[in-house]
Amino acid sequence: MREIGKEVRRFGEQPKGKSSTASLHVVPTQGKWEVRSSSATRARKVCDTVYCAISYARGIQSAKGSAVVVHERNGRVDYIIGKDGRQL
Amino acid sequence: MEDNYNQNVFVNCPYDNEYKPFQQAIIFAVVACGFKPQLVSYNTNGGVPRIEKIKEMIDGAKLGIHDISRCKSTMVNEWYRLNMPFELGLDLGSKHFSERHKYKNVLVLQAEPFSHQPSLSDYAGFDPQCYEGECVSLLTIVRRFLYSEVAEENRDCFIQRGKLESLYWDFQKELYADFGGVKEEIDKLSDLEYCDKIKHYMSCH
């Protein structure tokens, strides 16, 4: 049951009245791992290992407060690291 | 269907859970590039034989995307799959034997290079595109194929490769959040539902 007064957000829509924070995506590409901001069309950094890529993304995350989204090779989300560093 | 002939893209790919993310990436790329994916699974009418649905899709689409990755079995006693090469044959046949379809264009995909050769030797000389089992490559290949179908004067507005990828990563994040991180639930989405979600997402971005 929906709570009265609670904002109902449809799939894909940005929350009303809130500026969106771009997520950081850690993406496997040709044997390497790219760190990309969702608002950018190019990689911020290319790493040899996923650990290096996540570590780099976490560094930006702590400054900007954005979520780090780690993807599988097939494109699906493997897991998300929230602003507080916990895996979602 | 005739009205959308030039925009319709017949998608012929394996229907299994392991392949599902790649199928969904193809659908996403097709929609994001402004084309209309056509999958046999869209037609749930049990009163029509499957081959009739396939023929209807092939007849109504100028473009075809065929993934023949499953031509090779991966385990002992596993059968390799012949549906995809069969449907590719129908699509290619329509181009060669019908005046109406002579400008048809097909993209043939495979996960590993040259994996089709032992089982499809008559297909030698063609140029299947290999995506190495990686979603990023798949998005790029599908986009490149569709780009070549756009009139030269409209290519400036065609979605950029980096933009397509960024939208896809964000879409996957939305999907993950929408289903509470339960990947099995995402797999249960029907192809039509998935396509509708992409369309809605694209309308918001």
Please report residues of A whose CB lies closer than 8 A to that of B174.
11-12
Please report the pLDDT score of residue A40 as a whole number. 80
Is the CB of A13 inside 8 Å of chain B's CB atoms?
yes
pLDDT value at A17 more than 80: no
ipTM: 0.83
Q: Give B120-139 pLDDT, tens digit per residue.
A: 777 777 788 999 889 999 99
pLDDT value at A83 more than 60: yes
- From the number of C-beta atoms within 10 Å of its C-beta (0-12, 13-18, 19+), residue B24 rates as buried
The secondary element (H helix, E strand) that includes residue B106 is strand B105-110
Residue of A77, A78, A79 to mutate, interface with B, max B Cβ within 10 Å: A77
Choose the closest CB to A23 out of B22, B170, B197.
B170
**CB spacing of B201 vs A76 below 8 angstroms:** no
* Non-local CB neighbours of B123 within 8 Å, separated by 6+ positions: B85, B116
pLDDT value at B60 more than 90: yes
The count of C-alpha atoms lying within 13 angstroms of the C-alpha of A7, restricted to the half-sphere facing its C-beta, is 9
Q: Give B62-114 pLDDT, tens digit per residue.
A: 999 999 887 777 777 777 778 888 999 999 999 989 888 999 999 999 887 77
Choose the closest CB to B135 out of A23, A40, A73.
A73
With cut-offs at 50, 70 and 90, classify the pLDDT of residue B23: very high
- From the number of C-beta atoms within 10 Å of its C-beta (0-12, 13-18, 19+), residue B156 rates as exposed
With cut-offs at 50, 70 and 90, classify the pLDDT of residue B1: very low
Q: Give A25-73 pLDDT, tens digit per residue.
A: 999 998 899 999 887 878 889 999 999 999 999 998 877 778 899 999 9
- Greatest mean pLDDT among A20-24, B123-127, B164-168 lies in B164-168
The secondary element (H helix, E strand) that includes residue B9 is strand B8-12
**CB spacing of B201 vs A27 below 8 angstroms:** no
Share of chain B above pLDDT 90, in %: 56
Q: What is the arithmetic mean of pLDDT over B156-174? A: 93
Please report the pLDDT score of residue A1 as a whole number. 47
With cut-offs at 50, 70 and 90, classify the pLDDT of residue B140: very high
Q: At what angle do helices B161-178 and B191-204 cross, to 10 degrees?
A: 120
Please report the pLDDT score of residue B88 as a whole number. 93
Residue of B28, B140, B170 to mutate, interface with A, max A Cβ within 10 Å: B170
Please report residues of B whose CB lies closer than 8 A to that of A87.
none
According to DSSP, the residues that pair with B105 across neighbouring strands are: B63
Q: What is the arithmetic mean of pLDDT over B110-119? A: 76
Is the CB of A15 inside 8 Å of chain B's CB atoms?
no
Please report, as a single letter, which amino acid is at residue A42. R
Please give the Cα distance from A64 to A23 (Å, whole number): 10
Please report residues of B whose CB lies closer than 8 A to that of A72.
21
Residue of A27, A42, A72, A86 to mutate, interface with B, max B Cβ within 10 Å: A27
